[in-house]
């Protein structure tokens, strides 16, 4: 069945909803979504953002784990080279124990020099650091002693999931996809067209690449009986989020991004979509059985009631019909 996910980063443009309200509503939405069958929450990581972007994905995952029973917890993505890998191994193991085996780590190298500087590091050599860190995680989750930087290390408790927490690489390039085939449990493409490189490399290595890659689809979905009205409410928040990412990426390249100001043009880009229940079902069919519908109900500090309205409409008029759609796709 197609995956149904939520995403939270808790950034909020000003003026907007209070940060306390965003966090409390986010946890309320997650508990509700867990109870009705959403299968995954996506938990990102960025640092030093004045809008309050979530910097601690594993801490947040632990809190969600304690408030839910079945929803899987996926970092999306943890910037592994910024962290001590032994500490990550310990924290991830504890989250996996708290959640009774629901954690998934999607890791990446990151791209913002400002974030690396915060931790006394540089972007140079970050791919090598990530590969070394993944090797440490693998050894750590065995529970057996091993040597790391001249010291004996032993990580306990071990994760519930064995031989360890599922470990995926996120990426946008052919090298990232092929690297995932060599050292990770899977690959999470962040651009269409790169999954094929992962599949090709897996086959060269004699590995099963798993299910075929699905179209990425929108980064956020809202369901509405009046899409035009809802779009007018969410568009400024979506533009704020996308402009922030564009600015960060351009800055990392020494460039200046041109901000998005045309909301109708943004709507046609399909980064975010506001759809009727029937259109949401059609989107699920287009994405296929291995696709994902992702909801970002608090995007950019959006009024939580707007997000709740979308989620409840999806639950009432789309979810009951999703199973039959998925069966038809298979």
DSSP notation for 121-175: --STTHHHHHHHHHHHHHHHTTTS-EEETTEEE---SPPSSSS-S-EEEEESSHH
Which tokens belong to 321? 């019909």
DSSP notation for 242-272: HHHHHHHHHHHTT--PPPP--HHHHHHHTSE
Inside any domain, residue 268 = yes
pLDDT band of 214, cuts 50, 70, 90: confident
Inside any domain, residue 224 = yes
Predicted pLDDT at 16: 75
For residue 46, which of 16, 83, 77 has the smallest C-alpha distance?
77
Compute φ and ψ for 81, nearest 5 degrees. -65, -10
pLDDT band of 215, cuts 50, 70, 90: confident
Gap between the Cα atoms of 203 and 40, Å rounded:
28
Tens of pLDDT along 294-311?
Answer: 999 999 999 999 999 999
Inside any domain, residue 290 = yes
How many CA atoms lie less than 13 Å away from 89 in the CB half-sphere? 25
pLDDT band of 1, cuts 50, 70, 90: confident
pTM of the model: 0.96
- Tally of domains within the chain: 1
Share of the chain above pLDDT 90, in %: 92
240 upstream amide cis, omega within 30 of 0: no
What average pLDDT is seen over the chain?
A: 95
pLDDT band of 328, cuts 50, 70, 90: low
Inside any domain, residue 297 = yes
- Strand 186-189 to 220-223 pairing: unpaired
Inside any domain, residue 111 = no
Q: Is the pLDDT of residue 324 over 80?
A: no
Look-up of token digits 């460039």: 255
Q: Is the pLDDT of residue 222 over 60?
A: yes
Gap between the Cα atoms of 313 and 203, Å rounded:
42
Share of the chain above pLDDT 70, in %: 98
- Per the model's pLDDT, the better-predicted residue between 248 and 326 turns out to be 248
Inside any domain, residue 250 = yes
Tens of pLDDT along 109-136?
Answer: 999 999 999 999 999 999 999 999 999 9
Inside any domain, residue 68 = no
- Mutual angle of helices 57-67 and 19-36, in 10-degree steps: 50
How many CA atoms lie less than 13 Å away from 220 in the CB half-sphere? 24
Mean pLDDT value across residues 37-65? 97
Supply the range of the domain harboring residue 299: 1-11+28-36+215-330
Predicted pLDDT at 323: 76
pLDDT band of 213, cuts 50, 70, 90: confident
Inside any domain, residue 99 = no
5 forms beta bridges with 40, 294
Give the lowest-confidence range in 159-163, 217-221, 253-257, 324-328: 324-328
Q: Is the pLDDT of residue 326 over 90?
A: no
Predicted pLDDT at 325: 63
């Amino acid at each position: 069945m197609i995956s149904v996910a939520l995403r939270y980063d808790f950034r909020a443009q000003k003026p907007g909803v209070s940060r306390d309200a965003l966090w409390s509503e986010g946890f309320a939405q997650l508990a509700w979504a867990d109870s009705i069958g959403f299968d995954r929450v996506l938990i990102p990581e960025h640092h030093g953002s004045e809008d309050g972007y979530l910097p601690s994905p594993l801490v947040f995952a632990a809190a969600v784990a304690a408030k839910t029973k079945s929803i899987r917890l996926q970092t999306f993505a943890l910037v592994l080279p910024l962290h001590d890998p032994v500490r990550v191994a310990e924290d991830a193991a504890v989250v996996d124990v708290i959640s009774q085996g629901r954690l998934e780590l999607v890791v990446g190298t990151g791209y913002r020099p400002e974030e690396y500087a915060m931790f006394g590091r540089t972007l140079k050599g970050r791919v090598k650091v990530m590969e070394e860190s993944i090797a440490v995680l693998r050894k750590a989750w065995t529970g057996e002693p091993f040597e790391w930087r001249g010291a004996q290390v032993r990580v306990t408790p071990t994760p519930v999931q064995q031989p360890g927490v599922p470990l995926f690489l996120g990426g946008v390039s052919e090298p990232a996809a092929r690297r995932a085939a060599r050292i990770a449990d899977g690959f999470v493409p962040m651009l269409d067209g790169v999954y094929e490189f992962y599949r090709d490399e897996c086959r060269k290595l004699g590995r099963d690449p798993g299910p075929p890659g699905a179209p990425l689809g929108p980064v956020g979905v809202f369901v509405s009986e009046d899409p035009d009205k809802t779009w007018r409410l969410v568009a400024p928040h979506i533009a704020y989020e996308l402009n922030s990412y564009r600015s960060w990426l351009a800055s990392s390249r020494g460039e200046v991004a041109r901000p998005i100001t045309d909301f109708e043009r943004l709507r046609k880009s399909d980064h975010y979509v506001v759809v009727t229940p029937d259109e949401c079902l059609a989107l699920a069919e287009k994405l296929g059985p291995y696709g994902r519908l992702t909801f970002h109900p608090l995007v950019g500090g959006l009024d939580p009631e707007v997000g709740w309205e979308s989620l409840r409409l999806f639950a009432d008029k789309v979810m009951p019909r999703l199973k039959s759609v998925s069966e038809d796709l298979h």
